[in-house]
Chains A and B, each alone.
Chain A
């Protein structure tokens, strides 16, 4: 085995290539973020409760899959939007959600 530590030149940490190429990384958090926003807009505009609930789920999934380097502001805004969609749907129409069957 080689002489070991002291002889080698020390290089610095370079982030792996995938970080510089986010398209190669898992696109799940971005998709879920977008989907969450779309659903919450649908829920708000069309007053559909189930849309708003799905939006909440989407923003949770996006948060769980997010990279630590990603902006928390984006996550928070999508989360707040979905919560507001749920709240507004219930304020406008306090009836409980009816199942589709």
Chain B
């Protein structure tokens, strides 16, 4: 179109003034020729968002250098080691001894006996290692926090404050028995609004659905703490919830910075003065709880499980696949064909 206008002007001018050839061009805006080489490529490159990877602190005299980092694979493998044939042998040349959970607890009880370390009520920690690869090989899970109630509780030093909302005097009393620090209904809501009860003092806030409408006025004050189904704080079965939040064990599976496919956690699962069978049941429940956030792909999720008990530095390996399956069953895998990324659950 511009071309035609251009030509028309030219012809008009030449017809009117035959000796003078004046060319007037109009700036039309639309371009009928290709862009200069590199312009469109430049615009395309600008559109691509570069992923910014967090680099830790680098001292001033080491900046600008190309850092060559060799990443050690933290995933455990002793496939190349031999199986022991003698009854007495040094452990470093052979495959790790795999204990049952009960035997491992008994072994720790030996070293912590009053005649040896003299700590018969020490904690037993379960060190669990994970393969954090997601559905795609190049995408990994993030660190996640979970809370699980173990069947055999044991005394821990930390204390948790729970605020429970519900309607009904009997329910309130039940909840107070179950372990809520403060339980109540509309009277507590008023106290919060007045300022007598401070929300930040409480670790967890749980509520019954029937009182939800009354909680809405103080939603702004509660912000993150507002009970919702997704985080597990809103449930008709309040008694179970209070027990879970009061006595449950919170643990955070942290993925390794250098190797994102590796994640680990150290969870207290009991004390050495408990029965080994009870500790084994605790470990079983913990492993089953972790399976809920498992990515839907082939391969192992839990790679290794060790039992550790300070002040001893011993790490006794147990077989976690006694309690859980090694790989996902076929049906569960096929269910999630549309899922793009694994969603980490928070409880």
Do A and B come together as binding partners? Answer: no
Residues of B within 8 A of A (CB): none
